[in-house]
Chain A
Amino acid sequence: MIAQIRGAAAVVGVAEIHYKRGDAPHGELRMTLSTIVEACRDAGISPREIDGFVSYAGGPNDGAILGAALMIDELRWSNMMWGGGGGTVAAAINNATIAIATGQAECVVVCRAIAQADTGRLGYASYHYGPHFMAHGIGSPAQICALRTQRMLEHDGVPESAMRNLVLAAYHHAQNNATAQAFGRPLDEATYEESRWIAEPFHLYDCSRESDGAVALVLVSADRARMLSAHPAYVLAGAQGAPGGYAERIDNDEQYSTAGFGHANNGKPGVAERLWSAAGLGPQDVDVVQVYENFSGPAVASLIDHRLCPPGRAAAEVLTVENLTVPHGKLPINTSGGNIADSFINGLNLAVEAVRQIRGTSPNQVPDAKTSLFIGGPMAPVVSSVLFGHADTV
């Protein structure tokens, strides 16, 4: 029998802390521990009950280290999701859900911390790329994503306004979020257009900021969640992966201008369609979206991959500032300001905002939000997304 994922687990505790990059007063381990303790307090449980830890994208502080520091009763689940960048950020939540749904663990924390003092800057992960990239001037995620985005614009016909409007929407939302790094610094179209190029087609404002900080989410079974929280954020579905060979053969993959959520090489459903089918819902049923914007272009590609907006020129009809912003937009995105205007803790901060929308506590609350989508690190070799739902949707 296949274990049922839909509604089996829920996020009942969240915590996030962020600083300007390089400004964290503590290292990654201490920040991780402090957010876990705070997320447990938010959930109303003791950290001793945690029996699982999942992270992604690297970092030395595994489940044994964290479990020992917190002197948990027993460690049952300690997983690192393979894949660099933020591609597996939602997969980490999916992994925690699987542990709970199958009885492998009962209380699983998903966590990630970044302190520049500990790990340097992610955006300068230049020597991650091998000689066949470096020799040709390509040595950063920005440039990798720029090449794919340029084809999405020039060949597929997605207008540049789609990228700009996504950025303007994020900045608009950040003005209502006092903890956003762009709070008090609104962005207008002219300032965006006049900002310096980083790697075309990306302006400065198309690139996520990097922050120091940490994020933790606590997941438990649906039964436990109902006892703990007035508004658990149930995991309705999660999916991860990519078409075979995507973004891992020196730019020789078929679905080059997509974000990686597309169909399998044999034509079977890919990450996005597997997500919808597991949830029993579709893009038309989503109330609010947090989409990982390492850069604006991959975020636009993610929305297309998930059928939240049409491909090509028609994308412009959906991706307007009006449509992407609360309270009137049909596709409100990145309601805390996102990676671009709020903070960037490798994207896990977006999951916290997705949970806030289900709880009704977002700084830009979508009225009566029942379904809240979180899309993880697009254009990475492995990508992922997870759909949260209110109790009414389970």
Chain B
Amino acid sequence: MSQDLPWGPAPDGHDRPHWDGLTRSELRIQRCADCRTWVWGPQQICPHCYGFELGWQAVEPSGTVYSWTRSWYPYIKELADRLPYISVLVELDETDGRRVLGMYMGDPNDVPHIGQRVEGVFERADDAPWPLLRWQRAREGAIQ
């Protein structure tokens, strides 16, 4: 049984490759087939060369915290049971500075700091229709 959650591919299927990537434990973001510019969030056109051939490329889920917030108020009812939770904006390593949002796992009392190294973990809840990429403090000895 799957919950009806307010996320998943857009109705037009434009960002479907990103979500399909998550089911294979891959973080896929857009990259221009012509000029190789990394693009996120999902766009129709390359902002650099105006090419429409934006492909999807898997990147290493590692990066640094660009900003964060810890939410205490149930703005999203489907996540109310997780409060308080921490959301991070992560600057990815391989993508010329593109940033992705994610939830930061672990002890909610242990807040991250800007510049902290983080690594992605793929979370697939039994009743969730799509896996999601979550983030945690990078392990000691991990490639930095």
B47–A245 CB distance below 8 A: yes
Query: Which stretch, B6-14, B50-58, B136-144, touches the partner chain A?
Result: B6-14
Most buried by B among A130, A135, A200: A135
B67–A133 CB distance below 8 A: no
- A132-B101, A154-B113 given as contacts; is B69 within 8 A of A200 (CB)? yes
Tell me the bound Cα distance from A124 to B99 in angstroms. Answer: 25
Q: Which of A237-255 contact B (CB under 8 A)?
A: 245, 249-252
Tell me the bound Cα distance from A126 to B76 in angstroms. Answer: 7
A250–B75 CB distance below 8 A: no
User: Which residues from B are CB-within-8-Å of A139?
Assistant: 6, 75-76
Nearest residue (CB) in A for B101 is: A136
B41–A143 CB distance below 8 A: no
- In the assembled complex, B27 has its CB within 8 A of some CB on chain A: no
- In the assembled complex, B59 has its CB within 8 A of some CB on chain A: no
B76–A134 CB distance below 8 A: yes
- A131-B8, A249-B41 given as contacts; is B101 within 8 A of A142 (CB)? no
Tell me the bound Cα distance from A151 to B42 in angstroms. Answer: 24
Most buried by A among B41, B75, B99: B75
* Total contacting residues, chain B, CB less than 8 A: 39
- In the assembled complex, B66 has its CB within 8 A of some CB on chain A: yes
- In the assembled complex, B87 has its CB within 8 A of some CB on chain A: yes
B8–A150 CB distance below 8 A: no
Tell me the bound Cα distance from A131 to B42 in angstroms. Answer: 11
B40–A151 CB distance below 8 A: no
CB distance from A156 to the nearest CB of B (A): 10
Q: Which of A116-156 contact B (CB under 8 A)?
A: 124, 126-127, 130-140, 142-143, 146-148, 150-151, 154-155
- In the assembled complex, B122 has its CB within 8 A of some CB on chain A: no
- In the assembled complex, A196 has its CB within 8 A of some CB on chain B: yes
User: Which residues from A are CB-within-8-Å of B100?
Assistant: 250
- A126-B76, A131-B6 given as contacts; is B70 within 8 A of A197 (CB)? yes
A140–B75 CB distance below 8 A: yes
- In the assembled complex, A192 has its CB within 8 A of some CB on chain B: no
User: Which residues from B are CB-within-8-Å of A199?
Assistant: 69-73, 75
User: Which residues from B are CB-within-8-Å of A130?
Assistant: 10
Most buried by A among B7, B72, B73, B111: B73
- In the assembled complex, B118 has its CB within 8 A of some CB on chain A: no
- In the assembled complex, B32 has its CB within 8 A of some CB on chain A: no
A197–B72 CB distance below 8 A: yes
- In the assembled complex, A65 has its CB within 8 A of some CB on chain B: no
Q: Would you give 13 A-B contacts (Cβ < 8 Å), ordered by A?
A: A130-B10, A132-B41, A134-B6, A136-B87, A146-B71, A148-B67, A151-B66, A196-B72, A199-B73, A200-B69, A200-B111, A201-B69, A249-B40
Known: A137-B85, A140-B75. 14 other contacts (CB 8 A): A126-B6, A130-B10, A131-B15, A132-B15, A136-B103, A137-B79, A139-B6, A146-B71, A147-B87, A150-B69, A199-B72, A199-B75, A250-B100, A251-B99
Instruction: Give chain A's interface residues, CB within 8 Å of chain B.
Output: 124, 126-127, 130-140, 142-143, 146-148, 150-151, 154-155, 196-201, 245, 249-252, 256-257
Q: Which 9 A-B pairs have the closest CB atoms?
A: A250-B41, A131-B7, A135-B7, A146-B69, A140-B75, A136-B101, A151-B67, A139-B76, A197-B72
